[in-house]
Amino acid sequence: MPPHEAPRTRPAAISARGWGWRHGGRRTPAVHDLDLEIAPGERVLLLGASGSGKSTLLHGLAGVLGDDDDGDATGRLLIDGRPAAAARGRSGLVLQDPDAQVVMARVGDDVAFGLENLGVAREEIWSRVDAALDAVGLDLPRDHSTAELSGGQRQRLALAGVLAMRPGLILLDEPTANLDPAGVLEVRDAVARVADESGATFVVIEHLVSTWLPVVDRVIVLGAGGALLADGAPAGVLDAHAAELRAAGVWLPSEVPWHAPAPDVAARHPLLTADRLDVARVHGRPVLRGVDAQVVGGGILAVTGPNGVGKTTLALTLAGLLRPEAGRLIADPELAKGARGEPWRWRSRELLTRIGTVFQSPEHQFIAGTVRAELEVGPRALKLPPAERDARTDALLQSLRLERLAAANPFTLSGGEKRRLSVATALATRPRMLVLDEPTFGQDANTWRELARLIVALRDDGVGVVAMTHDEAFVEAVADRRLELHRTMVDESDTPAGTSSVEAPR
Amino acid sequence: MSIASVRPGLPLAAVNPVAKVAATVPLSIVLVLTLDPVSAAVAIACELLVFTLVGFGPLLWSPRTLPIWIAAPLTGLSMVLYGAPSGETYWEFGVILVTEGSLLIGLATMTRVIAIALPAVVLFLTIDPTDLADGLAQTLHLPARFVLGALAGLRLVGSSVDDWRTLRLARRARGVADHGVVRRGLGQAFALLVLAIRRGSTLATAMEARGFGAPGERTWARVARFGAAEWAVIAVGCLVAAIAATAAVLAGSWNVVWA
């Protein structure tokens, strides 16, 4: 199709007519018989429970669902009256994972990538690259390394890459789910500015409604299988369908899904004390210095701070997985139960009943072929009798609503299911202390509520919980103490990125 | 923390990588044709001279080239101990037979490894992967899909290194890190593969969404030049190869391996 037919700055119109898509190898379609019209220039927030086919619709609009080998399409999905798959360049897509969508090693080259693919002349490419970087507020030289960008900067880079292509339609699939609060606003504002300047139509998927409410003018809610549940002006839809949205796991504005009852302060007892602790991922390069903290049984400590301050490294150190660079990490006899020395000296098996760890990305800790086998890994390592093993596994499957999935491969679960399973694997060996790295991050409100309840139930059982988190709702509604990590000036090699901290009751 | 990270301004960094790779080819051919110490020793001397003149002095003696200085004598030593015996026997111990011939072969092998690996390592340190991709696609006209796909994939190597570290810690947390190093290593390698494929397919989606693989002519934002500087680099490579070959022939040590 000759390019002059579609000038790229004109906002795009979307039209779905009885559209459906079934992924190859699945029995039921992800989206079925969807009818939808979006006028040029509209700004749409697309909501729905996980499994409602939101992402499928977005990927369909971006033309990246693939061909007949990848799945079966029914009906029509049109952009400006042409099939979406044939309208490459009319739409641009920004995905959730900031790490997985940087294509090139230099900032300028990355933005230029899409333009090269569209066959834009070289003289024009660089002026468009500069304009796009400027529009998203990335004030960096073209040859800046993309490896050195923060999560928020990477998402804005992805947006610039899309913007440079001058699409009539910008599609955003949970663009801020992996970012800290500052990064979320950074990206949201860049999207709003870009939409104002270019007039492009945009469609965004996000659980956190309050983030996007100020910049959208229409909300569409999809139910199971892509059925249209609600559609209209934001305020009207949110008021009229609050119950359904809540059931679908949507975070309604200024609503925290659940508040924990206050902890029993008298029952608290110290488990692990960090005394002027320096932590490092790679030996000799501390990222955080002089941390004083105490994990207490029957209490929940939230550790907060910006991306890159060293929260994960601190978590892995407190969990006995990394050796501290300096300082002491003292386990109370109640936690150590005979294991000698600091936790990093304990044997892998000794950790199981003492400190459980839930990693930021659940995939990193899956080692078995089925959900049930995954839960049995810990009990087997402890050589528990089969009856006890089965009893624990069954109880966990039930309490975390994973029974239906017992025979499924852990890698095939949805995001929320993976998170629940990774928590369950840590609980199967009943540790006295639990370290959680971003447990509620990017989760919908339903999973959030379940996790919050579970963590508080552990607290009430006397388990000591420490959670690294960006999630202010979690800090407010669930944690009882907060340790805030601050970034300091990084100038000399002996000054780490993050430094000491203030621990205060909430 | 990535192989694909941007290289700092080393000498020759601006030269088309295709020329740098091409420059190493003639010498490699010469050194594979003959197995004698003279050609390789002369080549090493030339390399050290040329690299020092161009400004690679510090790089030559940096830890980056250390593996060569360690690996080359080891390769040579194995040839000394087990190489085809000939001439006078100096030492014998079981299958080990050190002879005049095997000593010569050992020396020839060691110098060869250094002479071939040194320019490869030094020149590759100056090659930015993006420039290499541009060169491969624009100068050699290799398919853009293949070249850019490989370039993007290279970026994932860095994240795989981080993944591997995290996977190891996660296994310790799961209570299975006390025994069975081999089996655990295999499982961990498989998990790494799964993660790499997932990240790769996300990246592929992101690339596709930006028009990668769309029909129509692709343009290039950066120009891969091939001019006087590139030809000069290749000429120097040819010259070094010629000097090494001539020296061996004049010294009478030139021996084509299969002759």
Domain boundaries, given as residue ranges, for chain B: 17-128+226-251, 131-209
User: CB of B187 within 8 A of CB of B195?
Assistant: no
Does the beta-carbon distance from A165 to B211 stay under 8 Å?
Answer: yes
- Higher-confidence position of A461 and A6: A461
Does the beta-carbon distance from A411 to B206 stay under 8 Å?
Answer: no
Chain B positions in Cβ-Cβ contact with residue A308 (cut-off 8 Å): none
Which of B163, B175, B209 has the CB atom closest to A349's CB atom?
Answer: B175
Q: What's the whole-model pTM score?
A: 0.81
Task: Choose the mutation target among B210, B212, B219, B220 for the interface with A, i.e. most A CBs under 10 Å.
Answer: B210
B211 to chain A: nearest residue by CA? A117
User: Which of A198, A214, A247 lies at the terminal end of a domain, its last residue?
Assistant: A247
Judge if A139 and A174 occupy the same domain. Answer: yes
Place of tokens 């009885």: A18
Judge if A162 and A213 occupy the same domain. Answer: yes
Chain B positions in Cβ-Cβ contact with residue A349 (cut-off 8 Å): 175, 178
Burial bucket for residue B165 (CB in 10 Å: 0-12, 13-18, 19+): middle
Judge if A478 and A330 occupy the same domain. Answer: yes
Judge if A280 and A215 occupy the same domain. Answer: no
Q: Which region among A78-87, A184-193, B62-71, B154-163 has the lowest average model confidence (pLDDT)?
A: B154-163
Judge if A28 and A119 occupy the same domain. Answer: yes
pLDDT score of A475 = 92
Tell me, rounded to whole angstroms, the distance of Cα B231 from its chain centroid: 22
Left (φ > 0), alpha (ψ -120 to 50) or beta: where does A60 sit? alpha
Arithmetic mean of pLDDT over chain B: 88
User: CB of A368 within 8 A of CB of A374?
Assistant: yes
B205 to chain A: nearest residue by CA? A64
Do the domain assignments include residue A467?
Answer: yes
- The total number of structural domains in chain A stands at 2
Chain B positions in Cβ-Cβ contact with residue A426 (cut-off 8 Å): 173
Chain A positions in Cβ-Cβ contact with residue B189 (cut-off 8 Å): none
CA max distance for chain A? 76
Tell me, rounded to whole angstroms, the distance of Cα B33 from its chain centroid: 20
Does the beta-carbon distance from A316 to B169 stay under 8 Å?
Answer: yes
Per-residue pLDDT band for A441 (boundaries 50, 70, 90) equals: confident
User: Which of A247, A282, A312 lies at the terminal end of a domain, its last residue?
Assistant: A247
Coil/strand/helix, residue A348: helix
Chain B positions in Cβ-Cβ contact with residue A316 (cut-off 8 Å): 169
pLDDT at residue A436 greater than cutoff 90: yes
Does the beta-carbon distance from A348 to B175 stay under 8 Å?
Answer: yes
pLDDT score of A490 = 39
Per-residue pLDDT band for A57 (boundaries 50, 70, 90) equals: very high
Do the domain assignments include residue A124?
Answer: yes
pLDDT at residue A203 greater than cutoff 90: yes
Torsion angle of C-alpha atoms A419, A424, A425, A428, degrees rounded to 10: 170
User: Which of A180, A213, A247 lies at the terminal end of a domain, its last residue?
Assistant: A247
Residues of chain A with pLDDT > 70, as a percent, come to: 95
Average pLDDT value for residue range A154-159: 92
Which amino acid is present at A429? Answer: T
Do the domain assignments include residue A257?
Answer: no
Average pLDDT value for residue range A440-465: 90
Do the domain assignments include residue A396?
Answer: no
Contacts of B146 (CB under 8 A, 6+ apart): none
Predicted-complex ipTM score: 0.85
Does the beta-carbon distance from A377 to B176 stay under 8 Å?
Answer: yes
**B66-82 vs B100-125: helix crossing angle, rounded to 10:** 160
Do the domain assignments include residue A8?
Answer: no
Judge if A242 and A275 occupy the same domain. Answer: no
Place of tokens 């994939």: B153
Chain B positions in Cβ-Cβ contact with residue A118 (cut-off 8 Å): 211, 214, 216
Per-residue pLDDT band for B79 (boundaries 50, 70, 90) equals: confident
Does the beta-carbon distance from B177 to A348 stay under 8 Å?
Answer: yes
B200 to chain A: nearest residue by CA? A100
B217 to chain A: nearest residue by CA? A119
pLDDT at residue A370 greater than cutoff 90: yes
Per-residue pLDDT band for A445 (boundaries 50, 70, 90) equals: confident
- β-bridge partners, A37: A15
Average pLDDT value for residue range A410-437: 92
Which of A121, A352, A411 has the CB atom closest to B175's CB atom?
Answer: A352
Tokens of A161: 């890459």
Judge if A236 and A307 occupy the same domain. Answer: no
Contacts of B145 (CB under 8 A, 6+ apart): B212, B213
Do the domain assignments include residue A404?
Answer: no
Q: How many CA atoms lie within 13 A of A127 on its CB side?
A: 5
pLDDT score of A157 = 94
- β-bridge partners, A202: A43, A170
* Whole-angstrom distance, CA of residue B86 vs CA of residue A193: 79
Judge if A308 and A205 occupy the same domain. Answer: no
pLDDT at residue B244 greater than cutoff 80: yes
pLDDT at residue B1 greater than cutoff 50: no
Burial bucket for residue B48 (CB in 10 Å: 0-12, 13-18, 19+): middle
How close is the nearest chain A Cα to the Cα of B226, in Å? 18
* Whole-angstrom distance, CA of residue A71 vs CA of residue A186: 36
* Whole-angstrom distance, CA of residue A76 vs CA of residue A56: 14
Average pLDDT value for residue range B187-194: 91
Does the beta-carbon distance from B209 to A62 stay under 8 Å?
Answer: yes
**B228-251 vs B37-54: helix crossing angle, rounded to 10:** 150
Judge if A231 and A288 occupy the same domain. Answer: no
The values of phi and psi at residue B9, to 5°, are: -70, 80
A350 to chain B: nearest residue by CA? B175
Nearest to A62 by CA among A168, A153, A133: A168
Does the beta-carbon distance from A145 to B128 stay under 8 Å?
Answer: no
pLDDT at residue A489 greater than cutoff 70: no
Which of A100, A349, A356 has the CB atom closest to B199's CB atom?
Answer: A100
Highest mean pLDDT among A217-226, A321-330, B215-224: A321-330
Chain B positions in Cβ-Cβ contact with residue A147 (cut-off 8 Å): 1-2, 4-5, 158
Does the beta-carbon distance from B219 to A115 stay under 8 Å?
Answer: yes
Do the domain assignments include residue A410?
Answer: no
Which amino acid is present at A128? Answer: R
Burial bucket for residue A155 (CB in 10 Å: 0-12, 13-18, 19+): buried
Task: Choose the mutation target among A116, A357, A377, A436 for the interface with B, i.e. most B CBs under 10 Å.
Answer: A116
Place of tokens 């205060």: A504
Average pLDDT value for residue range A65-71: 82
Question: Chains A, B: CB contacts under 8 A, how many?
Answer: 167
Which amino acid is present at A401? Answer: R
Domain carrying residue A487: 270-354+433-505
Contacts of A374 (CB under 8 A, 6+ apart): A366, A367, A368, A410, A421, A425
The values of phi and psi at residue B54, to 5°, are: -75, -20
Per residue in A99-143, pLDDT (tens digit) is: 888 899 899 999 999 999 999 999 999 999 999 999 888 889 998
Average pLDDT value for residue range A220-242: 87
Question: CATH number for the domain including A132?
Answer: 3.40.50.300
Chain B positions in Cβ-Cβ contact with residue A343 (cut-off 8 Å): none
Per-residue pLDDT band for A494 (boundaries 50, 70, 90) equals: very low
Do the domain assignments include residue A201?
Answer: yes
Does the beta-carbon distance from A100 to B214 stay under 8 Å?
Answer: no
Long-range contacts of residues B42-45, Cβ cutoff 8 Å, at least 24 apart: B42/B243, B42/B244, B42/B247, B42/B248, B43/B111, B43/B115, B43/B240, B43/B241, B43/B243, B43/B244, B44/B111, B44/B114, B44/B115, B44/B118
Neighbours of A504 (CB within 10 A): 9
Judge if A221 and A75 occupy the same domain. Answer: yes
Judge if A17 and A131 occupy the same domain. Answer: yes
How close is the nearest chain A Cα to the Cα of B19, in Å? 22
Does the beta-carbon distance from A117 to B214 stay under 8 Å?
Answer: yes
Tell me, rounded to whole angstroms, the distance of Cα A278 from its chain centroid: 28
Burial bucket for residue A68 (CB in 10 Å: 0-12, 13-18, 19+): exposed
Task: Choose the mutation target among B147, B157, B174, B176 for the interface with A, i.e. most A CBs under 10 Å.
Answer: B174
How close is the nearest chain A Cα to the Cα of B40, in Å? 37
* Whole-angstrom distance, CA of residue A119 vs CA of residue A349: 58
- Higher-confidence position of A288 and A50: A288
Q: How many CA atoms lie within 13 A of B217 on its CB side?
A: 8
